[in-house]
Homo-oligomer: A and B are copies of this chain.
Amino acid sequence: MEQKIQLKESDIPRQWYNLAADLPTPMLPPLGPDGNPVSPDMLAPVFPMNLIEQEVSAERWIDIPEEILNILYRWRPAPLKRAVYLEKFLDTPARIYYKDESYSPPGSHKPNTAVAQAWYNKEFGIKKLTTETGAGQWGSALAFACQIIGLECKVYMVRISFDQKPFRKIMMQVWGANCIASPSNETNAGRKILAEMPDTPGSLGIAISEAIEEAVTDPSGKTRYSLGSVLNHVLLHQTIIGLEAKKQLQMAGEKKPDIVIGCAGGGSNFAGLSFPFVSDKINGADIKIIPVEPTACPTMTRAPFAYDFGDTACTTPLLAMYTLGHAFIPPPIHAGGLRYHGMAPLVCQAIVEGLLEPRAYHQMDSYSAAMTWVKTEGAIPAPETSQALAAVIDEAKKAKEEGKEKVILFNYSGHGLMDLLGYDAFLSGKLVDYELPEEELQKYTKVLENLPKAEMRKSGKW
């Protein structure tokens, strides 16, 4: 049997899958500052109308433009690989498959939506995209996409990461992006914060505010903002991962996965792999679907379901989601892409419905799992991916205990070559665990009391 199941370019999925069309109860709408649902027009200064249409679409299948596929072919279809060495090491009857999203030039799944967003913006006549980045995965993916498609790109990078991760910054510059430290002197939001706190390390919330401000205040009207996760259209673009995986599992002779696993920060890589299988589950398939998060930022496993802002600075519409409160500042875990107070509303509604079984792991568990991966499969995973690996190994061990030939599928969302400091901390015994104390959780979620309440709509089928 081949260890890598390769799909031909001519067999790539030609439509994205929209889970919103299949959820048994309708999603709660995003709300504006007045507590009323936001209309597409209200989002127009921030996003181009073609992406807003995708954001609110109720269509199940959305065609992928040929021009976007032509760009994705640089690294897609991504291989589905079988982790035969890990299986052997664990002596498990489980068959473990993974989508290897580390093959994209920036090294993660992020370009799947970065390319699509850049293309739709260009199509709409936009000349420049702004965004924020923390650890740098998203910023480098958007820089890559804008370079390929021919858009200007401005990335506000959280100052502490800007200073500590110079290589991510250089990556973005190589791809032609203008990457600056946030808070900056280029926006009102940045100047205000710098005046109050000249030595602030910055935050994603501040960086989002600056990126949105630059987009909406450009007098030419040719600048828009781009987000790397959370929103419906972002998750939509990632579903190519799961749709490819479905075809590849069939090529490998597997009828269906028994267990689907992905790490979840904003939710996009998890949704990308899992939503086509959530669809199968809605239609009766027996599949356990596990989004994995860090105990340091336990959005899905411990936070309330509520309306909250997507950013710390309260500039976005209110989204119905599991949230630790928009002022929550996650501890400095190495899985920077999982340090987000909320979660994609589509993922959250699937949790409310009982379609998903979220789980949290300690940072230490994720690095132990990563080292098991390194010693067996050989590649060095991203710290975010390692959270998923902890669950994969647990499920494979459980299959052994139960003596069951389970098919486990997970998303290898990226490589860790740009994030080696966490491994250094682990190997030198300096890595620490974080678990959010209950009183901290209570403190941060208190702000939600003053916001509109989110009704938990549940069909009761799962």
User: What residues of chain A have their CB less than 8 Å away from a CB belonging to chain B?
Assistant: 2-4, 6, 8-10, 73-74, 103, 105, 107, 144, 147-148, 166-167, 170-171, 173-176, 371, 374-375, 377-380, 417-418, 420-421, 423-424, 427
Contacts and interface: CB of A to CB of B under 8 A. Distances in A.
15 contacts: A2-B73, A3-B73, A105-B379, A107-B417, A147-B375, A147-B378, A166-B424, A167-B167, A167-B417, A170-B420, A171-B380, A173-B427, A174-B380, A174-B420, A175-B374
A8 B3 contact: no
A171 B379 CA distance: 10
B378 A148 contact: yes
A161 to B, nearest CB: 15
Contacts of A374: 147, 174-175
Given A105-B379, A170-B421, A171-B420, 4 more contacts: A3-B9, A173-B423, A174-B427, A176-B375
Nearest to A168: B420
The 10 closest A-B pairs by CB, nearest first: A105-B379, A170-B420, A2-B9, A6-B6, A170-B424, A3-B73, A174-B423, A105-B378, A167-B420, A148-B378
Contacts of A377: 74
A296 to B, nearest CB: 22
Contacts of A375: 147, 176
A4 B11 CA distance: 13
Contact of A4 (B73, B173, B176): B73
Nearest to A415: B105
A105 B171 CA distance: 19
B147 A380 contact: no
A76 to B, nearest CB: 9
Given A170-B420, A420-B171, A421-B170, A74 B378 contact: yes
Contacts of A8: 2, 6
Contacts of A424: 166, 170, 173
A170 B3 contact: no
A164 to B, nearest CB: 13
Contacts of A378: 74, 105, 144, 147-148
A171 B380 CA distance: 8
A32 B409 CA distance: 56
Contacts of A417: 107, 167, 171, 417-418
A380 B4 contact: no
Nearest to A77: B4
A167 B165 CA distance: 12
A173 to B, nearest CB: 6
Contacts of A380: 105, 171, 174
A423 B105 CA distance: 16
Most buried by B among A8, A170, A173: A170
A44 B3 CA distance: 36
A417 B9 CA distance: 26
A368 to B, nearest CB: 13
A87 B328 CA distance: 49
A350 to B, nearest CB: 33
Contacts of A103: 103
Contact of A2 (B10, B175, B379, B420): B10
A251 to B, nearest CB: 12
